[in-house]
Amino acid sequence: MRRHFDVLEEKRIGKVKDSDIFKKLVEFAKPYWKIFLFTVFLLLGTTVFELGMPYIMKSAIDRTLMPTARKLTREDELLRSIKLKYPGAFYEDMVVLYKLPRAAKKDLEAGKYLSKTSYFVLPLKKEFTSILKRFKLPYYEKGNLLFVEQHTIYKLPKKELRILRSEHYSLLVKFAFLYLLFLFLDFVFTFLQVYYLQYFGQLVMYDLRMAIFKKIMRLPISYFDKNPTGRIVTRATNDVNAINEMFSAVLVYTIKDFFLLTGILIVMFKLSPTLSWKIILFVPFIIALSFLFQKFARKAYRNVRRKLSKINAFTQESISQIDVVHVFYAMRKMIRRYREINHELYKANIEQMYVYAFFRPLMEMLRVVAVSAVVYFGGKGIFENYVTFGTFVAFLSYIDMFFAPIRDLAEKYNILQSSFAAGERILLLLDENEERRDGDLIPKQIKGKIDFENVWFSYDGERWVLKDITFHVDEGKTVAIVGPTGAGKTSTISLLARFYDHQKGEIKIDDTRIQDYEVGSLRKNTAFVFQDVFIFKGSVRKNIALWDEIDEKEIEEALKLTYAKEFIDRLPNGLDTELGERGITLSMGQRQLLSFARAIVRKPRILVLDEATSNIDTYTEHLIEKALSNLLSNRTSIVIAHRLSTIKNADKILVILDGTLKEEGTHEELLKKDGVYAKLYKIQFELAREA
Ligand code: M5T
Ligand code: MG
């Protein structure tokens, strides 16, 4: 069969909306939504832990390293009401700040109730007071607490300072352990999340591959005329992987990034709205920049893809037709053409590089500016006492976390693009019309009467290849079809088993339209032997039985009838000799005999034979001739014949010329008629004999 490929398939890509692709892919994910939901839950966990860690750091700094209490400088109605509300935070004229909510702290700050100096808070212990007394440091005992002025504490020698701060130290250790716990939980959750996400992805891929293969098996042969094998293979392998990438690398992490970004914003605002507002000014820039990047990246990416597929197609084509290239000595021309395409791809890649080379450092710059903004505004906040040192440190972490997903955006965007392209290609494949199997008639046994009535057929819907063909074959008879090359002989017989569907007229077997039969049963009753015989990788036996269980006896008998036994017996392992890839290669004649055996072993009621035109040695020729007469007896046969003996012995000869049936009759009748057949006969056979 001739295959015409549409080289620039990527032209079609980009026509389906991304949302449609996504919707369709989600269908495949649906059965596993529970696993997916679980991974999202785990993701939520990791987000919480990751958000929590800087917060723990902040608390550790503010609660243990920094002084936490202040003195009250004045008292009025407002202060009294705050004191009433949070009695636990006040110790006479001292206030422990971490025991107050942020709003109350702010009120105290704004009302200037607080002293400039800060105080460390310690539990009231003899050990501490004795040290403080010994070094004559001022301190206050209030309730069960001890308050020491911030700067005086550093006048102590190391040893005493350590004792005094042991309380803070043990709290710090507790925070450190909490931090470690979060780190560990984050690890566990991330591990489970990655595991279940991959699990989910593999399940979806499994189904997707199944669906694609099922589809490929059911596609009409005409699909394969238009699409090269390599491309179809890519659908079921690489493209499926690309989709997995989309689920695992992009979709899920986008969800995570979304959680994380919102989480960061919430925590930042909770810690310090004043500082957050200043930092948030960067967000519009980031969004605008991302949009701009997306626009350029998409264009550049598409361009690269297009050039890439062009170079792939060209390479593939050049290699598959390497014999032709050699025969016509066209290597230089091919190389010249390749150089052009190669250069186009190079240029497209460079263009894409520009986009990334510009975007990445720009984002990086923005990040550094944002960090500087935190340092500047945060520092100012510390001076003006509305930002604690812990908050300042946490902000630095959060701002880094905030930029990380955006930094990855470029990479994710690439994956997303290629997976959408892959998704689209898969969808287009899955949306192809399957071979129509509209009939449901399953005959026990086909008798073998064939009628073609005014059949019109075109491969492409534009050019009629068969025009108004009408002929009848009675049960058990042999019809030979002759005609010049390209006349439409192979096309005629392809219609019979519905490899292709004709557009006009009727084709009937046993007076029933072939469309009414279940295709499988129709094909079981017909055997096809094509011009070029395909040998599968595997033993000779497997090549004859194909996918069916066939008795050893029947195989033996088929081999005898088709005279294939002789050459098979001479093979190193007889029927078990491996053929195909890395096995033995058969000659044209041997292939022909093998394909006869393949056909006859199924005991078909109708045999359709596209005789090979290639030259075969006289001995094999003789075998084939004998095999043919066995093959053709007891069944209805349509033979596209080149051999004079086959033609002469046929009950009827059809002469097809340019898609029309020109003459019909027996050899003698047609010779007598002295028309096209007589002319063909003279040219083809008499000349051949003279030579
Ligand atoms: C008849 C065209 C071909 C020719 C005409 C198989 C095939 C054929 N054609 C297509 O357009 N697409 C196809 O997939 O149909 O072709 P045929 O029936 O194969 O001719 P033939 O069997 O009589 O010729 P040959 O050389 O086998 O003796 O115009 O282009
Ligand atoms: Mg042909």
**312-357 tens-digit pLDDT:** 888 888 887 888 888 888 888 899 999 999 999 999 999 989 988 8
Atom 7 of ligand 1, nearest CA residue: 2
Rounded Cα distance, 286 and 168, in Å: 41
Residue 2 Cβ inside 6 Å of ligand 1? The answer reads yes
Atom 3 of ligand 1, nearest CA residue: 486
What distance in angstroms lies between residue 485's CA and the mean position of ligand 2's atoms? 7
Residue 324 Cβ inside 6 Å of ligand 1? The answer reads no
Q: State the amino acid at position 145 in one-letter form.
A: L
pTM given for the model: 0.73
Q: State the amino acid at position 477 in one-letter form.
A: K
What distance in angstroms lies between residue 495's CA and the mean position of ligand 1's atoms? 12
Q: What is the pLDDT of residue 410?
A: 65
Number of neighbouring beta carbons within 10 Å of residue 73: 12
Beta bridge partners of 664: 654
Residue 586 Cβ inside 6 Å of ligand 1? The answer reads no
Instruction: Tell me the ligand closest to 2's alpha carbon.
Output: 1
Ordered structural domains, the chain, with CATH? 9-57+176-430 (1.20.1560.10), 66-171 (no CATH), 439-525+634-691 (3.40.50.300)
Q: What is the pLDDT of residue 549?
A: 79
What distance in angstroms lies between residue 222's CA and the mean position of ligand 1's atoms? 13
What distance in angstroms lies between residue 490's CA and the mean position of ligand 1's atoms? 6
Residue 322: phi and psi, rounded to 5, are: -60, -35
Q: What is the pLDDT of residue 2?
A: 41
- DSSP per-residue codes, 322-349: HHHHHHTT-HHHHHHHHHHHHHHHHHHH
Q: What is the pLDDT of residue 172?
A: 93
Which atom of ligand 1 has the smallest separation from the CA of 659?
A: 1
What distance in angstroms lies between residue 69's CA and the mean position of ligand 2's atoms? 97
Residue 225 Cβ inside 6 Å of ligand 1? The answer reads yes
Please report, rounded to a whole number, the percentage of residues in the chain having pLDDT higher than 90: 21
Residue 491 Cβ inside 6 Å of ligand 1? The answer reads yes
579 three-state secondary structure: strand
Which atom of ligand 1 has the smallest separation from the CA of 483?
A: 23
Residue 606 Cβ inside 6 Å of ligand 1? The answer reads no
Rounded Cα distance, 496 and 445, in Å: 17
Probe target for ligand 1 pocket from 490, 613, 640, with the most ligand atoms within 8 Å of CB:
490
> Which residues of the chain are modeled with pLDDT < 70?
1-15, 409-410, 435-438, 581-583, 612-616, 684-691
Residue 659 Cβ inside 6 Å of ligand 1? The answer reads no
> Any idea what the Cα angle at residue 351 is, between residues 348 and 353, rounded to 5°?
110
